[in-house]
């Protein structure tokens, strides 16, 4: 069985970077849990394996009210885009 992962949105940039976007609705700042952080790390690893990309992967969170920074988000989520960016 082939393992896969759902990618919500990605930007394959000309500067050698891919923004792998995770889109989440939350009524307040999104809080990343240990289990969800592990799932995101697995998603990145699967993406790199399947695509065989040599580009840098930047995990980007697109969410309504930002990110509640914690030990799980600190080294994993590199960019945060809130709904204000779309106004």
Helix (H) or strand (E) holding 21: strand 17-24
What tokens were used for 58? 């930047």
Rounded Cα–Cα distance for residues 22 and 7 (Å)? 7
Q: Decide if 3 is inside a domain.
A: no
Residue 37 sits in which domain range? 9-86
Q: Look at residue 77 and tell me if it is in a domain.
A: yes
Tell whether 41 is covered by a domain: yes
Q: CB–CB of 47/8 below 8 Å?
A: no
Q: Has residue 18 been placed in a domain?
A: yes
Per-residue pLDDT at 1: 45
2 assigned to some structural domain: no
Q: What is residue 87's predicted lDDT score, i.e. its pLDDT? A: 76
In the chain, the number of structural domains is 1
The secondary structure of residue 68, as a DSSP letter, is E
Tens-place pLDDT, residues 22-55: 999 999 999 999 999 999 999 999 999 999 999 9
DSSP string computed for 19-52: EEEEEE--SSSEE--HHHHHHHHHHHHHHHHHH-
Domain assignment present for 16 = yes
Is residue 53 in a domain? yes
- pLDDT tier at 84 (50, 70, 90 boundaries)? confident
Q: What is the pTM of this model?
A: 0.89
Q: Greater confidence, 2 or 63?
A: 63
């Amino acid at each position: 069985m082939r393992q896969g992962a759902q990618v919500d949105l990605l930007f394959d940039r000309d500067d050698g970077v891919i923004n792998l976007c995770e889109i989440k609705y939350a009524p307040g700042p999104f809080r990343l849990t240990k289990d969800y952080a592990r799932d995101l790390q697995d998603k990145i690893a699967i993406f790199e394996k399947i695509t065989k990309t040599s580009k840098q992967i930047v995990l980007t969170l697109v969410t309504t009210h930002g990110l509640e920074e914690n030990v799980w988000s600190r080294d994993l989520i590199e960019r945060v885009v809130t709904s204000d960016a779309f106004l």
